[in-house]
Structure 1
């Protein structure tokens, strides 16, 4: 059962990273500009953000095995449709279908582990499953670059088919069915309001620069997003079982952590999208070479996870996040210096620094945001937190790509546009340090060791 959940999580994380190195080749094949393929990434992450809260309810309503089987099936079908797409519109629709399946893979898999693994073995089981989240980003860019260079970009999606088919057979054979029909009423209205809020906000930031009445459209969509968010407040007060209880926000560090996560992850979400484009379109790297160049990010991120506990125990969450956020933001801004002839050793150092600091940042932010929640609010808070994570990745791609387009139009050349975009998203990440300054250090109560 653990291998089944591992495989599902691996497919999800692999597909989040494998596409980035293939974007220039996909754009050439579809007759589009590489930056115009932002929706290919955003559609996937935004769909997962919208549907993640419903996954637990679906498992309770229809049974864990049935829902997990359907999730893999939808994901595989979406992968096939992606590989057979002939236009950007078809590819975006296929990515939405992929996102529907992907949104359920990790939450349902984690739920299956929770319900079927004894308490004393649960932490070890969850740790094993979480390895997929580290392995996927390591193999994703390299595998994507190799497939594009050796075959074609279509294979980055077709590779999911044999894995998914084996997963379907294994789910039918080994995954416990789980109880069905005992789900409480689901807050579809609340889910719809928050989904409208996220979609409208994302579209407001992605209105084409040269479009007619672009500013007006952005303002209208931003207004729709704000109104949807405000309408959720009275709805949550009236509803017996709202999607997210407003009491969640009475925990101050949860609110601060949520906002800090959103702002900080914009920069972190832009980097995996912008770096392959910079390397292939401006530095002349092949897809496989650009994939290999992203290995230091993933490897350093995996290695650095063991440092987070002693550092937080020594300096506290508030001090650690303040300093580490500055390192993450500065490392992102440093990518603006990359240019033809830039020393390879310096590039690897930049990438490894970003990977290590970014990995520790995620671990610390996750802990800070969820640490103070009560047992009653833990599940709901984690679900909302997952939505914000996916939203932030999409916003990072939208903002990063939008800045490159904006600067390219203003300057007439693309090379300095990438540099300015990296500087801008690096500064956005640095701004989240001011958010983390509002953390209540006493409430976090870290165990600090003497210096």
Structure 2
């Protein structure tokens, strides 16, 4: 494969590169969320108890967590485009294995490979964008990478429901084949082939400690939320993950070339954006899960009707990319992130007001507005994270950011599930009520609002886009 010349002019000509990478990430997230709606049908066709189908999700999450720490190192060592192509190619093969699976074992093996490939796609895609884009264009480029994480989880359940209803669950995986192959062709044709860099040998001990910690924490929190394991055992996994984190910190202090660069937290912009982003994700990541419970289980909507309603949030997320750059130029990163965190909190709080008497168009308008604010926040956070990160440390920053995001999302859904169960048990109920979901949604809104305090401290640590008046 011949390398595409890499120049600043290339970056200024068109948004092809971030659009192509964003589309690849969207496909992966679409698949992972669409599977959730097909689990009952999969159990029926494979002759397995419904409870065992949790393995299809859990093993995917476990493989994802294990391979995220090595993604940045692999991108620098073997060329980022080559790693991205390999991940997409293997994801295609794994999708075919899942579609043709006759047993639960075959399906789980395919899902584990999918998870490992997905772990490489997002961080490596970010590495390519960070090398390709100038600092002035970083926000616009990152807006394409924020879209998959926002729109995929919203559209995925609806697509999964349509495919399972009118075709079969195998089509959730078959549909990946032409998309992946076309995506690989676009990557070869349009994405620059940046050279490899000299990197230290793989920190195997750091990989075992860091990857093991993330895997235990993510799997433990996920099991706690889904009820796959006894709570005591899930808690043990979380404690074990915490001990491995401590072990990694000790290892990183003694090992100059540790796999996960904790020294990035010394950079003010990176540190504050990660802290504020953790609080924001803690409040927003459980929202799709809570909305499904509220609209379907409590308000009695059909899965298809609820799916179309939730998609309104995805429409708002798509439209905001037209406004992100002008808004940052007008207000700067600090003001925009601070104010928009409060608007996002308001959007979640308004979702807590949904009831049977509320008009559908009003629900759609609230979800549209909330999706718009949430997308703007993720887009802006994605850019501000890397503004003070040196280019040679961008791969390490991408891996660390992906690990933190994956962990916080798992914690968010887990905490929401645990809180719902606790509220129901305190009232002597076995089922979740509207009041329970309202309380948890308001707590999520409070977490989003708290992130504004952190983002307000970004003053003088992350500059606005070129041409801004600044603070």
- With the shorter chain as reference, the TM-score category is 0.7 to 0.9
CA distance in 1, matches of 2:165, 2:89: 28
> What RMSD in Å do the two structures reach over aligned CA positions?
4.4
34, 39, 54: which one pairs with 1:26? 39
Secondary structure of 2:259's counterpart equals coil
| C-alpha separation in 1, matches of 2:111 and 2:339 | 37
Q: Distance in 1 between matches of 2:367 and 2:281?
A: 16
| Structure 2 equivalent of residue 422 of structure 1 | 441
Task: Give the direction of change, closer, same or farther, for the CA distance of 1:246–1:176 in structure 2 (3 Å limit).
Answer: closer
Q: Is the 8 A contact 2:66 2:116 kept in 1?
A: no
Q: Which whole-Å CA distance do the structure 2 matches of 1:27 and 1:339 have between them?
A: 28
1:243 aligned residue: 259
TM-score by length of 1: 0.79
Find the aligned partners of 1:30 and 1:67 in 2 and give their Cα distance. 34
CA distance in 2, matches of 1:248, 1:324: 26
Q: 1:330 aligns with which of 337, 346, 352?
A: 346
Residue in 1 aligned with 2:431? Answer: 413
Equivalent pair of 1:21/1:290 in contact (CA under 8 Å): no
Structure 1 Cα separation of the partners of residues 49 and 342 of structure 2 = 33
1:380 equivalenced with 2:396 (yes/no): yes
Structure 2 CA distance for aligned equivalents of residues 388 and 323 of structure 1: 23
Work out which of the residue numbers 426, 442, 445 in structure 1 matches 2:460: 442
Q: How does 1:121-200 map to 2 (within 5 A)?
A: 130=145, 133=148, 140-167=156-183, 184-200=200-216
The 8 Å contact of residues 14 and 139 in structure 1, kept in 2 or not, is answered as no
Partner residue in 1 for 2:120: 104
Q: 2:27 aligns with which of 14, 20, 31?
A: 14
* Alpha carbons of structure 1 residues 147 and 363: separation in structure 2 relative to 1, 3 Å: same
> 1:388: how far off?
1.7
Distance (whole Å) between structure 2 residues aligned to residue 272 and residue 300 of structure 1: 15
Deviation at 1:226, TM superposition (A): 2.7
- CA deviation map 1:54-111 (0-9, x unaligned): 2343355555665444312321233234445678887565433212112233444566
Structure 2 distance, partners of 1:162, 1:25, is 21
1:184 Cα deviation from its structure 2 partner: 3.5
Q: Is the 8 A contact 2:224 2:234 kept in 1?
A: no
Match of 2:88 in 1: 72
What TM-score do the two structures reach when normalised by structure 2? 0.77
1:246–1:441 distance in 2 versus 1, CA, 3 Å: same
Q: Give the total of aligned pairs.
A: 449
Gap runs ≥5 in structure 2: 5-14
| CA distance 1:78–1:427, change in 2 (3 Å) | farther
